[in-house]
Amino acid sequence: METGAGPIGMGGTYTAYMAEPYSAAYNPAAIYGINSFSGSFGHDTYWKNRRFESGYISFKKGSIVYNVGLQFSEISDIEGRQTATEDPDYYFDSPDLSLKFAGAFRINKIITAGLSVGWIFEKIDIYRGNAYAVDMGLIVKPKDNLTVGLSVLNVGTKMKINIDEYDIPTILRIGAVYDYQDFKPAVDFVYFDEEIHVHLGGEYKIKDMLFLRAGYRSGYDTKDISAGAGFVRRNIRIDYAFLPYKNKLGDSHIFGLTFSL
C-alpha cells in the first residue's frame, strides 16, 4: 500500500526519492541524506469504513541514518454471521499494524545501501496473526541530478490467521528521479502480485514554498491518476494528495505533516 501524501501525489514514484522520512516505505536506502531529526505523519480517509494512519521518524547518528516507521489501517463495521442469515449477527473491525526499523549508510560516493526489519500484525474478527519481514534497498547516483533506486520489500515469514496461512506480498521496485532545476520527474517499475506496474510522477517547486504534484499508475484495477500539493514554512511542510478510485469505490484524501529539528 502506498503511504504518505507526498509520495501518493506523485503516483507512488518514491523508490529513488531521497532524504524524506516516508522514503523508508519505498526504499530503506533512500532515507540517507537526512541530517537532522525529522518526522512525517499522515492521515488517509480511504473509503467510508476504512482509515489509514502512518508515522515515520528519522535521525542521523554517526555515518548511519536511522528510521522508525509505523503504519496502521482499519476496516470497520464488517458484518459478522454465525449462520447464513440476511441480517448480520454482529459487526467487527479488522486492524492491520506494521512496525519497521531501518538504517541506511553510504558505501561510496555513488552507492548507498539500506535495510529494515519489521513486524506485521493482522486481526480478523476474533482471529489474529503476525509475520516478520525484511526490506532491502540500494541508491545509485551516477550524476548529481540523477538518482536510481532499487528495493525489495516484505521478504519474510508467512502470515497465519486461524487455520489459514499465506505469504505476505513481496514487492520489487526499480525507479529513477531526475532533478531538473525546480522540476523532478520520476518513474518507478513495480513488480507485485506477478504483474509489472509502471508509475509516473512529477513534482514542481515554486519559490521554495509550494510543491505541485501529479502521478499515474498503470495496471491496477482500482486506481490510476493522483494529484497533490505541499506548502513549506520554515521547517514544516503540510501535504495533501487526492487519489480517486475506480469502480465507484470513492475518493481518497491524504493529509500529511513533515518537520525537521
CA neighbor of 125 nearest in space, from 73, 74, 80: 80
Residue-range domain boundaries for the chain: 5-260
The alpha-carbon radius of gyration of the chain (Å, integer) is 19
- The model's pLDDT over 116-151, given as tens digits with 9 standing for 90+, comes to 999 999 888 888 888 999 999 999 999 989 999 999
CATH match of 5-260 with 2.40.160.60: yes
DSSP letter for each residue of 83-135: SS-SS-SEEEEEEEEEEEEEEEEESSSSEEEEEEEEEEEEEETTEEEEEEEEE
The rounded mean pLDDT for the chain is: 91
Average pLDDT of the residues in 12-33: 93
Q: Read off the C-alpha cell for 251.
A: 475518493
Total Cβ atoms within 10 A of residue 171 = 17
CA separation for the pair 12, 197 (Å, rounded): 11
From the number of C-beta atoms within 10 Å of its C-beta (0-12, 13-18, 19+), residue 216 rates as middle
For residue 219, which amino acid is it? Answer: G
What is the largest distance, in Å, between two alpha-carbon atoms of the chain?
A: 64
CA neighbor of 2 nearest in space, from 20, 21, 22, 17: 22
Higher pLDDT, 127 or 236: 236
H helical segments located in the chain: 5-9
Higher pLDDT, 67 or 20: 67
Total Cβ atoms within 10 A of residue 54 = 24
- The model's pLDDT over 208-223, given as tens digits with 9 standing for 90+, comes to 899 999 999 998 988 9
- The model's pLDDT over 141-188, given as tens digits with 9 standing for 90+, comes to 999 899 999 999 999 888 888 778 888 899 999 999 999 989 999 999
CA separation for the pair 159, 176 (Å, rounded): 32
- 179-214: burial string, b at 16+ Cβ within 10 Å, e else: eeeeebbbbbebebeeeebebbbbbeeeeeeebebb
- The model's pLDDT over 81-122, given as tens digits with 9 standing for 90+, comes to 777 777 777 777 788 999 999 999 999 999 999 999 999 998
Which residues on neighbouring strands pair with residue 136, listed in sequence order? 115, 152
Q: Read off the C-alpha cell for 200.
A: 509516473
CA distances from 223 to 23, 116, 161, 248 (A): 21, 28, 28, 11
Total Cβ atoms within 10 A of residue 245 = 16
